[in-house]
Amino acid sequence: MPGLRIEGYVIVSADGMLASAAHVMPDELKFKGDKQFFTAALDRADLIVHGRHSYEDQPNSPLRKRIMLTRKIDGVAPDPSNPKATLWNPAGASFEAACDHAGVRSGTVAIIGGPDVFAMFLDRYDTFWLSLAPRVRLPDGEPCFPGVPAQSPQQILAAHGLSPGDAQILDSADDVSVTPWRRAA
């Protein structure tokens, strides 16, 4: 859909993990500066897209339009538990059909995980905001993209045509930063 700008958001450990082995985001990956950055981005977005376990659970979450991926339905359906949410199974309907159902045809879409959902949009991101916590290691954790840790998240983003811009420090005490990976115009 040409009117949509696609942006991705994740924070990863030094070894490229977004969650623990138990598929839970551990406290070690939670930083005030990154949370403020992520919250502000979601407040600006017109639509949020995520898998069933990646709900951001913030005070403004009920205000946000979202598409949630699930195999529990065939294509696209309203979420009976949330009037602002659309359920989507990519095996049965296009992303455009899901956006249409959500009533969003232009603006910014924030993709917020998990790994398979991030991977589905690797060739479509305008910008992927990669936050990095370099002092945290989660050796048995859940990789942010399929293919990590054999390849780093940065190598995967580069292989999909994205290039890094200037990093911005989000938490100086722990050297946490965010780097925008942008597609050449």
Ligand X SMILES: NC(=O)c1ccc[n+]([C@@H]2O[C@H](COP(=O)([O-])OP(=O)(O)OC[C@H]3O[C@@H](n4cnc5c(N)ncnc54)[C@H](OP(=O)(O)O)[C@@H]3O)[C@@H](O)[C@H]2O)c1
Q: Is 141 one of the binding residues for ligand X (CB under 6 A)?
A: no
Which residue type occupies 16?
G
Q: Is 137 one of the binding residues for ligand X (CB under 6 A)?
A: no
In the complex with ligand X, the residue whose CB is nearer, 44 or 106, is 44
Footprint of ligand X on residues 76-135 (CB under 6 A)? 89-90, 112-117
Got the DSSP string for 72-109?
SSSSEEE-TT-TTEEEE-TTTS-HHHHHHHHT--SEEE
Q: Is 52 one of the binding residues for ligand X (CB under 6 A)?
A: yes
Which of 54, 86, 99, 162 forms a contact with ligand X (CB under 6 A)? 54
Q: Is 16 one of the binding residues for ligand X (CB under 6 A)?
A: no
CA dihedral 15, 20, 25, 27 (to 10 degrees): -80
Note the Cα 62 to chain centre separation in Å. Answer: 18
Count of residues that bind ligand X according to CB under 6 A: 26
First to last CA, the chain: 16
Residues that bind ligand X (CB under 6 A): 10-11, 18-19, 23-25, 29, 50-54, 69-72, 89-90, 112-117, 142
